[in-house]
Structure 1
Amino acid sequence: MGFLYSQFCVRPPYPEQSFANQTVLITGANVGLGFEAARHVVRLGASRVILAVRNVPAGEEAKQQIETSTGRSGVCEVWEVDLASNQSVLDFGDRIAQLPQLDAALLNAGVATLNYAKAEGLERSITVNVVNTLLLSLLVLPILKKTGKTVPGSQPRLSFVVSEVHAWVSLPEWKADHILETLSEESKAKMNERYRLSKLLEVLVVQELAGRVRGSEVIINMINPGLCHSSLGREAGGAAQVIRLLLARTTEIGSRTLVAGITAGLESHGAYMTDGHVENTALSPWVRSDEGRQARIKLWKEVATILEGVRPGIMQNAV
């Protein structure tokens, strides 16, 4: 009932908070929610908006559309990053580190697929939506922290786009010796629920990250945009497409929740946001349980080991 009420009865407010003099990073910004969020941020006066995309020509087209619709040129920049590649994320993070400031990072890019494939030794959805999304967040945290200390009036924010579907799946594999390796075995990968599972894993690692970083330095939160029309579900079957047609919010309305995340106050640090406001009770009961906490700690250690292998010392950024 909560889902249906949210979809049909709640309309997140139209973004009005200024981004004047701010630099904002948005991943997956060439289509869907990321594109509409970028359009809002440009409209609201940001001085520099980095459209982080895997497909550069599509990113350039998105840039042109945003400039035309907002009447503001010279604001958007298209930067390439492929979250399926460790090296691409590292290169992108090193480039971000050279910015004079970064006021907000909106990590929206993700993959939802029914097809099994591996990337960097793990099932691709896990690599993209969990491991390398966390890697990217750790790479941008230093410049976010620096901005908060050196730019007067800045309160940096790091927002992750998650989903309510994290509550629609279980994780018995958390008791395995190696959670992600077990989940990445082709014989055990239930691809019809893999997106939901990847979002559950993402919720757990973001919770742990937020618990290690002071909100006074960088506000870290999670955003549930609700069911929206977007390109994310393009591989979904016929039944899912019908459900989306009947229930989904427009992409623009869903994007309002993303903008709410990167403008939210300290009360949102470590929190789960839905419909544009903090609502921690909307997290799954399992995530909030003692078993969920144990799984979160175990998963964090496992992902930390992987990322230390990708870039030694990276986990020091999570303090």
Structure 2
Amino acid sequence: MSAASPSVLLGFLYSQFFVKPPYPTHSWAGKTVIVTGSNVGLGLEAARHFARLGAQKVILGVRNLEKGETARKSIIETTGCSDETVEVWQLDLSTYDSVKAFAKRVEGLQRLDAIVENAGIATDRFVAAESGEEMTIATNVIATFLLALLVLPKLKETAHRFNTRPHLVIVSSEVHFLTDFPERKAVGPSENLLASLSDKSKARMHDRYNVSKLLEVLACRQIVEDHMRPGYPVILNFVNPGLCHSELGREMGFGFYLFKLAVARTTEVGSRTLVHAASAGEESHGQYLSDARVSEPADLVKSEEGREVQKRVWRELSERLEQIQPGIMGNF
């Protein structure tokens, strides 16, 4: 992991202490929204906002159904929405079959106006997922984009049927500024960069979460460039909620806990950025959002070298997605 430049660090601290994203007021009346990883933390508070703002259906995509039901009851009690508004659906991003099953249920919805892909993990331990890939990459990158592409047809159908502009929101992070992604140079052009990240003997797990968030940024940008040009019926953006109090990073040690205690935003304040991204306009399409506005991503992302890495990452990721679900690239 590369050390943050003084300007990046100062920008982070200024944002944490002096910027407060606006309280969401945009109506969601009659609309359906999915929030993944929504039994706790940012996802739960974002789902609570959507219910408060009148959404007809709020679907909580969660790994633990019991915790999801507790979250559902909390949302109903605090917002006064009807029992039918909030639904709890099983979703475990560590297994691609679970993602496919979840997406199959989405096909049965009358409409889908937004999906906020908030679920993810942060760990410094190497664990192999069911697929054999390292868990952080499998969850935060491969499964996240597998779900995105599988629900894209429903988002497009909603756009055409209801004359609206649905949103596909990837919850990324400003930590993508903190890695120089040395793997990009260590793996030759004839080798698979994405697959190399699952080599336990070479894994730099202290930097893995940062890398996963960088890969999300790169993939989103290339998707828009290759498949979702301006005017596409679905808006894709990727959002940084800032450092917030949540269960993310609970495995990162006591030092990180103390840092969060001193600097983190409240969970509710952080969740406002997710709700903003799900209703942001055309100007947000293909863009990195931070503090509820379009912002510049890391210098590496914007560099010429970054553009080449971006193309490589998306090429390899799209090939992997085709292996998991043949024909998925046709969903664009």
- TM-score calculated relative to the size of structure 2: 0.93
1:41 to 46, 50, 53: 50
* Alpha-carbon distance in 2 for matches of 1:79, 1:46: 17
Aligned residue runs from structure 1 range 68-217, under 5 A: 68-73=77-82, 74-119=84-129, 120-152=131-163, 154-175=164-185, 176=187, 177-211=191-225, 212-216=227-231, 217=233
Give the SS at the match of 2:314: helix
Residues 261-314 of structure 1 deviation map (CA, whole Å, 9 limit, x = unaligned) = 0010000000000001111x2x11000111111111111111111111111110
* Alpha-carbon distance in 2 for matches of 1:229, 1:124: 23
Residues 37-83 of structure 1 deviation map (CA, whole Å, 9 limit, x = unaligned) = 00000000000011000111100000000000001122000000111
* Alpha-carbon distance in 1 for matches of 2:305, 2:107: 37
1:12 to 8, 15, 21: 21
**Structure 1 position 36, deviation (Å):** 0.1
- TM-score calculated relative to the size of structure 1: 0.97
1:305 pairs with 2:327 = no
Give the SS at the match of 2:301: coil
Aligned residue runs from structure 1 range 258-297, under 5 A: 258-279=274-295, 281=296, 283-297=297-311
Q: Percent identity?
A: 50
Q: Which residue of structure 2 lines up, in the alignment, with residue 228 of structure 1? A: 244
**Structure 1 position 162, deviation (Å):** 0.3
* Alpha-carbon distance in 2 for matches of 1:31, 1:315: 32
Unmatched 5+ stretches in structure 1:
none
Distance change (3 Å), C-alpha of 1:214 and 1:22? farther
Q: Residue 36 of structure 1 contacts residue 252 of structure 1 at CA under 8 Å; is this kept in 2?
A: yes
Q: Which residue of structure 2 lines up, in the alignment, with residue 60 of structure 1? A: 69
Moved over 4 A (4+): none
Give the SS at the match of 2:265: coil
**Structure 1 position 215, deviation (Å):** 4.5
Q: Residue 116 of structure 1 contacts residue 124 of structure 1 at CA under 8 Å; is this kept in 2?
A: yes
Greater shift, 38-47 or 305-314, is seen at 305-314
Unmatched 5+ stretches in structure 2:
1-9
Q: Which amino acid aligns with 1:220?
A: L
* Alpha-carbon distance in 1 for matches of 2:40, 2:223: 27
Give the SS at the match of 1:126: helix
Q: Residue 50 of structure 1 contacts residue 79 of structure 1 at CA under 8 Å; is this kept in 2?
A: yes
Give the SS at the match of 1:19: coil
